[in-house]
Amino acid sequence: MSPEMQQIWKPDLYQDKHNFVWRNAQGLVELLAPQPGETVVDWGCGTGHLTHAIAASGANVLGIDADPTMINTAQQQFPHLRFRVDDACTFRLEAPVDAVFSNATLHWVPEADRAIACIRAALKPGGRFVAEFGGHGNVATILRAIHTARQQLGFRTSDATPWFFPTIGEYATRLERYGFEVQFATLRDRPTPLEGDNGLENWLRMFAGRFFADLTKAQQAECVAAAIAIARPVLHHNDQWFADYRRIRLVAINSPRP
Ligand code: BEZ
């Protein structure tokens, strides 16, 4: 696999071409409604822009991300804020917090139960978990285009993905099993504009490298071009590429009830 097709987080590219990841999430910070003096974890903080937005409310925020390069960039950009590298499924806090916030991270964690257990352990009784992530049907057109392109070019296909895009019912049931009370949940289409004429190609290179990992560099280029051609009638309108995102947004309380 050529290096540019590996799933490696590249903070510069993430901030430049994929800044919609946090720009679309301002409403989620409003849903969190952080208060001065509250303690909050921004779980999967990436380059720290939403950590910064939460801190602007006067809350005391810790940004956590599994990727050291992201945390490095976050710390350089926001030296006055606290960040640390930690794993979604094993992190433990020194003291429980009032809220855990998470944008565009949970779909990267197929071991959802382990993550939920960690989040619950991180919260005070009555503390809130406010999250947005890819829900059922997220990027279905992009995935279909990749599969069809592979089939057309004679490459093996598989339904396996690195992502977890649950229904509200699936995710709420898991949260309830771990003692959360789900007070709000929505699933909605959110077509997301991708920057530039190469918007879909950049997205594939940033996020979907593993679907091409078994191919030579020349085959990758051919397969990416074929996937783009297949997706174009659905995802390209008026000179603009869109990713067919579907978002779950939820608020769940670490229920103090038995
Ligand atoms: C998303 O934010 O929905 C997403 C990002 C990368 C890969 C898959 C989904």
- Mutating to test ligand 1, I would choose from 207, 210, 247 the residue with most ligand atoms within 8 A of its C-beta, which is 207
**Total count of domains within the chain:** 1
Ligand 1 atom 5 nearest Cα: 207
Distance 163 CA to ligand 1 centre (A): 8
100 vs 162 pLDDT, higher one: 100
Distance 238 CA to ligand 1 centre (A): 23
Residue span of the structural domain in which 174 resides: 3-254
Distance 165 CA to ligand 1 centre (A): 9
Distance (Å, whole) CA 181 – CA 255: 6
Residue 137 has pLDDT above 60, yes or no: yes
Would you tell me the crossing angle of helices 217-235 and 140-152 to the nearest 10 degrees?
Answer: 130
Write down how long the chain is.
Answer: 258
CB-ligand 1 contact for 107 (6 Å cutoff): yes
Rounded average pLDDT over 23-29: 84
Rounded average pLDDT over 13-42: 82
Grade residue 2 by pLDDT with cuts at 50, 70 and 90.
Answer: very low
Domain of 207: which CATH number? 3.40.50.150
CB-ligand 1 contact for 163 (6 Å cutoff): yes
Distance (Å, whole) CA 235 – CA 141: 8
Residue 1 has pLDDT above 80, yes or no: no
Residue 23 has pLDDT above 90, yes or no: no
Distance 58 CA to ligand 1 centre (A): 30
Query: Highest mean pLDDT range out of 18-22, 23-27, 136-140?
Result: 136-140
12 vs 128 pLDDT, higher one: 128
Q: Who contacts 189 (Cβ-Cβ below 8 Å, separation ≥6)? A: 244, 245, 246
User: CA nearest 64: which of 103, 32, 98, 29?
Assistant: 103
User: CA nearest 87: which of 54, 111, 103, 59?
Assistant: 111
CB-ligand 1 contact for 199 (6 Å cutoff): no
pLDDT in the model for residue 10: 65
